[in-house]
């Protein structure tokens, strides 16, 4: 083989090794136990299961999942135990199913013991804790959907048709929500009489003869189509009959035989077929996708996402059912991840509440019309109001009443920006004296529907509250009940209590309660703000590196022969060598590198130069990083908020002396009071006593007063986020803290059972779809009355000039370092004076005086060295001749006296001066 061929083969081997040899993908097995009553359902469930696993493997090849299935009979605990133990022996990390209650309870007990995640997709009226996660919508929350639909459709008398004990539990919870004194509810079971070929017709004939026209049908998917067909046969499918069908798979059956009967059939679905994968070859696509199959798909993908979040902690192992010590160590961790995560699935966002129930979900409300299934609204458990529909049923017979040419008395309040007086020098009268969002909205509705209107002003701006003393409603709600006004439009929130006494249109604006608070002041820079570019641990490691490199350089310098040099350049074979890299010089060299100033020390060997090069590279990056971050840290002043969310506000309000408030008698205040009554220990419940404590001290009859106190500081005012948006557009010292605490809507209020509610609601929906309402909002929020002046706050990219506060630490460090150096010099001088006194055999005070006198002789740069007369260190005539050419040639001289050539020159000059002094002394003695 040629060299080129060998090279190609080598490259291919490397590529294969990198793709397979070093890629250690863990295999996770997921088991599914199937026990549907009809075995023909198993292929569709399996396909949903395998499809989810296949997509998971395609999305991330680092995690390989494998699907295992076992089929058992319904309500057979023995087979459930056997299938579960078999799956555990095959190293599964989770079990999906089964679907019957008895089998599921057995599997769950084993999974709890072995800490295996147990995933359920069945309807369960009382899901247990432990290792189970049920992705099916919580039954109690589903019951609210049926209740809201019945109330919206205006049913007062209706018949509930149920199939078995499971459906009886559902309708039983529904009946509890109604008052027996106001609604007449009949409950009948659908008994099948197959032997007489009557089927369900006997029961259906009885309810038809009773004259009932409104029905709530709760039955399984298997008999749903047959029940509707037999109901059509007995005459219950006419334009006078109305059905609400609770089964969430209604959209998957063939409804063609019923769509021309003009019967009002209302259904719900958790899966939107239009958003699913549009693949004609995929049997799960479109309107054939059942809820159970979609839940399996979502549950498996969510389970895989939880395993990926846990990471490599999961280690699949074969588990013996009869060995109590065998457990999946990370099973509980996976369950906790699933319960705390939110996954966007086919059935909408999948998330759980604190109890582990899936209570936050949405449903599409559809009706069967001649064109097929038509979406008429939606229901969402997290929104207020929960039910939003475009098809509104009036309780009278005048559904299509025209309001053209009618005149309404419309009540408004002077609340910015919904209603305001027009600023004009000329006197204005009637409707012309008012302007604002609500005024423009009524004008658009008037143009669309052709009615006239006259504004009535509510001076005290009271929306209305029920007075227990008088038994009547006050404010705007009371005016509507007493027919003082026909319509009311302002910042009037739709609440359950108000809906019980007046009617509302569909919301023209969705909003929620939030917190208005003074903008946090910017925190002043700290004294050591120049140290902020690096974290404290970085400074610690930098100090360790400074000392460590100095020590390493010192040790390597002593080991390396290149750093030992001849102190006598003229002697080829000296008796000793000297080394300049003592620890003091190494420390100075490293310090000079950090400060990027260098030093006079020259490194000679390759090893020490290698250390120096690596250290210079390190300091280059560190100094560059420090310089890059220093500008940002010194020119940026971070705000110092008192709180960042509602929870922090409630916990720190009393400690930080922050007062809480809301508009007195408004829906916001009632919201916190109701939350306190429901659960005083919750965060909302804890806020109500704080509001009560403040309301008598600071009275807030209007939002304007709350905004005023919020600007004064240390006052958190609760109001709707749309109103907060309006205020923060104009008052730049205020801002909204946190998100919305709830979700609700503003609607146009009118008297109960008003015939024109449908007409106004339809007009509002058309305005929303055309974008007209958004245009009005933009006009009054951002353009008029000073709007938009605070919109660019915080977006200014110009650098902030540094003030003294930002850099005073640098000055003080320099000053303190200089002062410390001065005291070190004094200490060195005192030590030198003490040594001089001992050497010259004089007193310390005399030596100090001589030293101080010399310090003040600034013109002298040479300092005389004194020796005692009897000193043996005075150089002799022989020693005087030994200092030649700038270095000492006496081999007996100590190594300490040979540190550098400059020190040798200094000794030579001292020897000359000493010799001249001794010669003068000898001449004077000879003369004597």
DSSP for 205-218? Answer: HHHHHTT--EEEEE
Could you tell me which residue, 217 or 916, shows the higher pLDDT?
A: 217
Quick one: pLDDT band at residue 635, thresholds 50, 70, 90? Answer: low
What is the arithmetic mean of pLDDT over 127-156? 86
Query: 864-880 b/e with 16+ CB inside 10 Å = b?
Result: eeebeeeeeeebeeebe
8 Å CB contact between 494 and 744? yes
Q: Which of 356, 339, 335, 331 is nearest to 88 (CA)?
A: 331
Structural tokens at position 294:
């979609």
pLDDT at 881: 44
Q: Which of 128, 659, 683, 594 is nearest to 356 (CA)?
A: 128
Identify the three-state secondary structure at position 565. strand
What is the sign, positive or negative, of the torsion defined by CA atoms of 75, 79, 83, 88?
positive
The three-state (H, E, C) secondary structure of 409-430, written as one string: EEEECCCCCCCEECCCCCCCCH
pLDDT at 778: 87
pLDDT value at 773 more than 80: yes
Length of the chain: 928
Q: Side by side, which strands form the sheet with 214-218?
A: 184-189, 157-162, 214-218, 242-245, 264-269, 362-369, 372-380, 387-389
What is the arithmetic mean of pLDDT over 146-160? 89
pLDDT at 546: 83
pLDDT value at 812 more than 90: no
Residues 6+ apart with CB under 8 A from 282: none
**What is the Cα 887 distance to its own chain's centre?**
75
* Matching fold, domains 25-137+289-350 and 139-269+361-377: yes
- Give the pairing type, strands 502-504 and 749-751: antiparallel
pLDDT value at 886 more than 50: no
Quick one: pLDDT band at residue 246, thresholds 50, 70, 90? Answer: very high
What is the sign, positive or negative, of the torsion defined by CA atoms of 921, 926, 927, 928?
positive
- 750 backbone dihedrals φ, ψ, rounded to 5°: -155, 170
- Number of C-beta neighbours around residue 397 at 10 A: 8
Quick one: pLDDT band at residue 217, thresholds 50, 70, 90? Answer: very high
Integer Cα distance of 434 and 89 in angstroms:
77
8 Å CB contact between 120 and 356? no
8 Å CB contact between 750 and 498? no
The three-state (H, E, C) secondary structure of 512-543, written as one string: CEEEEEECCCECCCCCCHHHCCCCHHHHHHHH
Quick one: pLDDT band at residue 529, thresholds 50, 70, 90? Answer: low
Q: Which of 702, 709, 724, 708 is nearest to 660 (CA)?
A: 709
H runs (alpha helix) in 570-642: 583-594, 606-635
Identify the burial level of 102 via C-beta atoms within 10 angstroms of its C-beta, where 0-12 means exposed, 13-18 middle and 19 or more buried.
middle
Quick one: pLDDT band at residue 391, thresholds 50, 70, 90? Answer: low
Residues 6+ apart with CB under 8 A from 216: 146, 150, 158, 159, 160, 161, 171, 174, 243, 244, 246
Q: Which residues are registered as beta bridge partners of 161? A: 188, 217
What is the arithmetic mean of pLDDT over 524-545? 74
Give me the CATH code for the 400-510+746-783 domain, please: 3.40.190.10
Helix axes 583-594, 536-559, angle to 10 degrees: 140
- Give the pairing type, strands 157-162 and 184-189: parallel
**What is the Cα 185 distance to its own chain's centre?**
46
Could you tell me which residue, 693 or 10, shows the higher pLDDT?
A: 693
Distances (CA, A) of 805 to 287, 437, 634, 796, 801: 68, 47, 10, 22, 11
Domain 529-635 has CATH 3.10.180.10: no
Integer Cα distance of 251 and 86 in angstroms:
37
Residues 6+ apart with CB under 8 A from 114: 88, 319, 321, 326, 327, 328, 331
Integer Cα distance of 648 and 642 in angstroms:
9
Quick one: pLDDT band at residue 725, thresholds 50, 70, 90? Answer: confident
Quick one: pLDDT band at residue 86, thresholds 50, 70, 90? Answer: very high
pLDDT value at 616 more than 50: yes
Quick one: pLDDT band at residue 873, thresholds 50, 70, 90? Answer: very low
Domain ranges of the chain: 25-137+289-350, 139-269+361-377, 400-510+746-783, 529-635, 646-742, 809-861, 874-928
First-residue to last-residue Cα distance in the chain? 109
What is the arithmetic mean of pLDDT over 634-659? 78
Could you tell me which residue, 148 or 884, shows the higher pLDDT?
A: 148
Identify the three-state secondary structure at position 383. coil
What is the arithmetic mean of pLDDT over 738-758? 85
Quick one: pLDDT band at residue 561, thresholds 50, 70, 90? Answer: low
- Residue-wise pLDDT tens digits, 578-609: 778 788 888 888 888 778 777 778 777 777 77
Integer Cα distance of 219 and 200 in angstroms:
12
Integer Cα distance of 716 and 517 in angstroms:
5
Identify the burial level of 466 via C-beta atoms within 10 angstroms of its C-beta, where 0-12 means exposed, 13-18 middle and 19 or more buried.
middle
Hunting for tokens 């650098």 — which residue is that? Answer: 799
What is the arithmetic mean of pLDDT over 542-562? 78
pLDDT value at 889 more than 50: no
Note if the pTM is more than 0.75.
no
Q: Dump the DSSP string for 245-297.
A: E--TTGGGS--GGGTTTT-EEEEEESS-GGGS---TT-TTSGGG--HHHHHHH
- Residue-wise pLDDT tens digits, 275-321: 554 443 344 455 678 888 899 999 999 999 888 888 777 888 899 98
pLDDT at 402: 60
What is the arithmetic mean of pLDDT over 186-204? 77
Residues 6+ apart with CB under 8 A from 70: 31, 32, 33, 34, 83, 86, 87
Identify the three-state secondary structure at position 580. coil
Give me the CATH code for the 25-137+289-350 domain, please: 3.40.50.2300
Annotation: CATH topology of 646-742: D-Maltodextrin-Binding Protein; domain 2 (3.40.190)
What is the arithmetic mean of pLDDT over 400-424? 83
pLDDT value at 703 more than 90: no
pLDDT at 781: 85
Identify the three-state secondary structure at position 436. coil
pLDDT at 648: 84
pLDDT value at 516 more than 70: yes
What is the arithmetic mean of pLDDT over 150-172? 87
Distances (CA, A) of 550 to 412, 559, 608: 80, 14, 11
Annotation: CATH topology of 139-269+361-377: Rossmann fold (3.40.50)
Quick one: pLDDT band at residue 910, thresholds 50, 70, 90? Answer: low
- Residue-wise pLDDT tens digits, 6-63: 333 333 333 333 333 334 567 899 999 998 877 777 888 888 899 999 998 888 888 8
Structural tokens at position 92:
């599964």
pLDDT at 214: 92
pLDDT at 825: 55
- Residue-wise pLDDT tens digits, 338-368: 888 888 888 888 888 877 788 888 898 988 8
Q: Which of 29, 54, 56, 49 is nearest to 117 (CA)?
A: 29
User: For a pLDDT cut of 90, what percent of the chain falls above it?
Assistant: 14
- Number of C-beta neighbours around residue 758 at 10 A: 19
8 Å CB contact between 142 and 148? no
Q: Which of 488, 485, 445, 481 is nearest to 463 (CA)?
A: 488
The three-state (H, E, C) secondary structure of 716-731, written as one string: EEEEEHHHHHHHHCCC
- Number of C-beta neighbours around residue 586 at 10 A: 23
pLDDT averaged over every residue in the chain: 78
Quick one: pLDDT band at residue 897, thresholds 50, 70, 90? Answer: very low
pLDDT value at 410 more than 70: yes
């Amino acid at each position: 083989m040629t060299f080129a061929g060998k090279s190609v083969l080598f490259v291919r081997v490397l590529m294969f090794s990198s793709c397979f040899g070093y890629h250690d993908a863990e295999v996770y097995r997921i088991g599914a136990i199937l026990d549907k009553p009809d075995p023909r359902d198993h292929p569709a469930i399996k396909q949903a299961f395998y499809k989810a696993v296949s997509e998971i493997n395609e999305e991330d090849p680092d995690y390989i999942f494998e699907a295992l299935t076992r089929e058992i009979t319904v309500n057979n605990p023995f087979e459930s135990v056997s299938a579960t133990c078999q799956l555990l022996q095959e190293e599964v990390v989770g079990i999906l199913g089964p679907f019957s209650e008895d089998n599921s309870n057995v599997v769950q007990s084993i999974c709890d013991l072995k800490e295996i995640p147990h995933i359920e997709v069945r309807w369960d009226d009382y899901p247990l804790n432990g290792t189970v996660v049920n992705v099916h919508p919580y039954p109690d929350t589903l019951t609210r959907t049926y209740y809201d639909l019945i109330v919206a459709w205006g049913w007062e008398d209706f018949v509930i048709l149920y199939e078995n004990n499971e459906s009886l539990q559902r309708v039983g919870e529904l009946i509890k929500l109604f008052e027996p004194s106001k609604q007449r509810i009949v409950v009948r079971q659908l008994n099948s009489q197959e032997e007489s070929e009557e089927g369900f017709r006997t029961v259906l004939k009885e309810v038809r003869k009773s004259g009932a026209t409104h029905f709530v049908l709760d039955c399984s998917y298997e008999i749903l189509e047959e029940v509707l067909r037999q109901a059509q046969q007995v005459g219950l499918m006419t334009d006078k009959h109305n059905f609400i069908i609770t089964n969430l798979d209604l959209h998957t059956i063939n409804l063609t035989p019923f769509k021309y009967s003009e019967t009002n059939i209302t259904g719900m679905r958790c899966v939107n077929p239009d958003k699913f994968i549009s693949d004609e070859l995929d049997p799960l696509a479109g309107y054939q996708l059942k809820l159970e199959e979609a839940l399996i798909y979502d549950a498996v993908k969510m389970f895989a996402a939880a395993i990926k979040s846990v990471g490599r902690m999961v280690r699949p192992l074969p588990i013996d059912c009869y060995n109590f010590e065998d457990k999946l160590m990370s099973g509980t961790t996976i369950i906790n991840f699933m319960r705390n995560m939110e996954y966007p699935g086919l059935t909408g966002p999948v998330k759980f509440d604190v109890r582990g129930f899936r209570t936050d979900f949405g449903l599409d409300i559809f009706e069967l019309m001649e064109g097929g299934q038509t979406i008429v609204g939606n229901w969402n458990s997290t929104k207020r109001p929960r039910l939003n529909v475009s098809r509104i049923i009036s309780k009278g017979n005048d559904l299509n009443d025209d309001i053209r040419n009618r005149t309404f008395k419309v009540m408004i309040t002077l609340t910015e920006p919904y209603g305001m007086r027009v600023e004009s020098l000329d006197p204005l009268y009637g409707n012309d004296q008012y302007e604002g969002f609500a005024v423009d909205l009524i004008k658009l509705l008037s143009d669309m529907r052709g009615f006239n209107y006259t504004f009535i002003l509510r001076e005290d701006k009271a929306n209305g509250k029920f007075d227990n003393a008088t038994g009547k409603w006050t404010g705007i709600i009371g005016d509507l009940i007493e027919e003082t006004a026909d319509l009311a439009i302002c910042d009037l929130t739709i609440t359950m209590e108000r809906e019980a006494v007046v009617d509302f249109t569909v919301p023209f604006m969705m909003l929620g309660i939030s917190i208005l608070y003074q903008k946090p002041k910017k925190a002043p820079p700290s004294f050591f703000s120049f140290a902020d570019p690096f974290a404290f641990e970085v400074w610690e490691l930098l100090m360790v590196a400074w000392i460590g490199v100095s020590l390493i350089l010192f040790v390597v310098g002593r080991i390396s022969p290149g750093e030992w040099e001849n102190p006598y350049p003229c002697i080829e074979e000296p008796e000793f060598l000297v080394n300049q890299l003592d620890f003091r010089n190494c420390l100075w060299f490293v310090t000079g590198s950090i400060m990027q100033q260098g030093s006079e020390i020259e490194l000679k060997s390759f090893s020490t130069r290698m250390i120096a090069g690596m250290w210079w590279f390190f300091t280059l990056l560190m100094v560059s990083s420090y310089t890059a971050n220093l500008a940002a840290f010194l020119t940026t002043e971070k705000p110092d908020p008192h709180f960042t969310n509602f929870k922090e506000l409630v916990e720190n309000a009393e400690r930080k002396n922050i007062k809480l408030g809301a508009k007195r008698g408004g829906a916001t205040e009632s919201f916190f009071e109701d939350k306190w009554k429901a659960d005083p220990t919750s965060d909302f419940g804890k806020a109500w006593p704080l509001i009560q404590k403040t309301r008598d001290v600071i009275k807030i009859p209007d939002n304007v007063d709350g905004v005023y106190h919020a600007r004064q500081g240390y006052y958190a005012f609760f109001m709707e986020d749309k109103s907060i948006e309006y205020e923060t557009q104009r008052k730049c010292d205020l801002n909204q803290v946190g998100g919305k605490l709830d979700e609700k809507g503003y609607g146009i209020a009118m008297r109960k059972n008003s015939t024109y509610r449908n007409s106004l609601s339809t007009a509002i929906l058309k305005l929303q779809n055309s974008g007209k309402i958004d245009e009005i909002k933009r006009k009054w929020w951002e353009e008029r009355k000073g709007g938009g002046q605070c919109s660019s706050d915080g977006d200014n990219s110009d650098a902030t000039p540094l003030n003294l506060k930002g850099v005073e630490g640098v000055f003080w460090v320099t000053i303190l370092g200089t002062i410390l150096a001065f005291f070190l010099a004094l200490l060195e001088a005192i030590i030198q004076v003490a040594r001089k006194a001992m050497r010259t055999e004089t007193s310390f005070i005399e030596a100090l005086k001589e030293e101080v006198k010399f310090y003040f002789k600034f013109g002298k740069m040479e300092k005389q060295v004194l020796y005692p007369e009897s000193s043996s260190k005075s150089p002799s005539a022989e020693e005087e001749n030994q200092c030649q050419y700038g270095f000492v040639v006496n081999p007996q001289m100590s190594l300490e006296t040979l540190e550098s050539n400059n020190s040798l020159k200094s000794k030579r000059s001292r020897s000359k001066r000493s010799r001249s002094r001794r010669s003068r002394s000898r001449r004077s003695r000879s003369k004597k």
